[in-house]
Amino acid sequence: MLLTYKFRLKDGTRREELKTLAGNVNFVWNFSNEIIRRRWKDSRFYTSKNDLHVLTKGSSKLLEINSQTIQAVAYECLLRVQKAKKSIRFRTGKKNLGWIPFNGQTVKFHSGYIDCNGYRFRLWQHRQLPEGYQIKTGSFSEDSRGRWYVNLTCEISDENWFQEPASFGSEIGIDPGMKTVMTTSDGHAYERNNITKQYAEKLAKAQRHRKKRQTKKINAKIKNSRQDWNHKRSFELARQYQTIFFGNASSGKLAKTRMAKGVHDAAWHQIKTFLSYKSLRRGGRLLEINERNSTVTCSVCLQKTGPCGLSGLGIREWSCPCGAVHDRDVNAATNILRLGRETLSLGRIA
């Protein structure tokens, strides 16, 4: 099994070396990008991985990065072109953050530092790597504030990969929202303040005064706070429930409406990603369920008697003619749980 670990570098004395290595990576990227463009423009031939390997062979003698890093950069550039199916941008130090990929064979990781390309980079090792790990690939990456991190993709044994499983057979339905980020079918609401709105005034003031450094710091604070909350809540759910049914609310479509800020702040995609791999490590799974009509359908009599349309968004509680009184979000989560169970019973999801 593969796991990725991220550690922050103590880059106070090595920032210039990292910038130099990142500049060499950009040079290889731009060279590969130019070759791909010219080859297609002149002869309408696609460039292969072997073509780039031949053209970049021996360039490690002129650059400060090793041959395996050069191959990794050239191949990544080729993959991006193939995926985009069109020309991609060139990399520059001003417009792009630093990125230096490497192969596990070219680095040596020790407690508190890592050796790569003849340099020793110290780091804050906030967690220990599992026994018997093997570094397969990795990279050095820069964030918007100029801080550097090392990312290690390690292969570990199944014993170290799997964690204590959740209760066998436990299931739950989750309705994603904006006011309440997640509401579960057992009536629990996971709420938090709108972090984007919380820092909006400070951010606007910094932008008006053109304080770029402070602006980046505030944006990083928003991102880290949201990510920290999502990690903690997803950990709680993955530890308690073996099967999680998550409503497939389309954040992409809602982001084009006037609710865009709330949708982006809720970060449903990130929550689903965290829940997916954390459940998998405990022997569980996350399944996306079509939540169409889950809000307007009564979870008791299954009739569509609930509030609908834009005018009904403000109605949080409603009564069904069958006599049931529903909380809007809990009712939707209950319907998602029911639909998930029906889907599994029909064998539509393996």
For residue 150, which of 37, 317, 7 has the smallest C-alpha distance? 7
The pLDDT value recorded for residue 24 is: 96
Classified as helix, coil or strand, 160 is helix
Residues facing 263 on adjacent strands:
none
At which residue do the structure tokens 């297609």 appear? 40
Q: Give Cα 135 to chain centroid, integer Å.
A: 21
Reported as a single tens digit per residue, the pLDDT across 323-334 is: 889 998 999 999
Reading the block at residue 161, the tokens are 């990969």
CA distance 225 to 265: 11
Distance CA 7, CA 140 (A): 10
Whether 133 and 169 have beta carbons less than 8 Å apart is answered as no
The pTM of the full predicted model, rounded to 2 decimals, is 0.87
List, run by run, the mean pLDDT of 10-residue segments along the chain (350 residues).
92 88 96 94 91 93 92 95 92 94 92 90 92 93 93 90 82 91 93 93 96 95 95 94 92 81 91 94 92 89 84 82 90 94 75
Residue 235 structure tokens: 């950990």
Hey, is 240 helix, strand or coil? helix
CA pair distance 20, 23, nearest whole angstrom: 5
Distance of CA 244 to the CA centre of its chain: 19
For residues 32 and 69, the answer to whether their CB atoms sit within 8 Å is: no
Whose CA is closest to 176, among 272, 307, 261?
A: 272
- Residue in 178, 270, 260, 277 with CA at minimum distance from that of residue 226: 270
Domains of the chain with CATH codes = 2-158 (no CATH), 167-345 (3.30.420)
Q: In 10 A of CB 328, how many CB atoms?
A: 22
Q: What burial class does residue 189 get, using C-beta atoms within 10 Å of its C-beta: 0-12 exposed, 13-18 middle, 19+ buried? A: middle
Instruction: Please state, in angstroms and rounded to a whole number, the distance separating the CA atoms of residues 148 and 24.
Output: 16
Pairing assessment for the beta strands 167-176 and 241-247 based on DSSP bridges: parallel
pLDDT at 348: 60
CA atoms of 225 and 220, how far apart (whole Å) = 8
Exposure string for 113-143, b = 16+ CB within 10 A, e = fewer = ebebbeeebebebeeebeeebebebbbbbbe
- The confidence score (pLDDT) of residue 350 equals 47
Q: Are strands 119-124 and 2-9 parallel, antiparallel or unpaired?
A: antiparallel
Query: d(Cα 190, Cα 182) in Å, to the nearest integer?
Result: 5
Rounded CA separation 335/341 (Å)? 10
Which tokens sit at 224? 């880290």
104: Cβ–Cβ under 8 A, 6 or more apart, which residues? 134, 135, 136, 137, 138, 153
Torsion of CA 188, 189, 190, 191, to 10 degrees: -150
Q: How far apart are CA 262 and CA 254, in angstroms?
A: 9
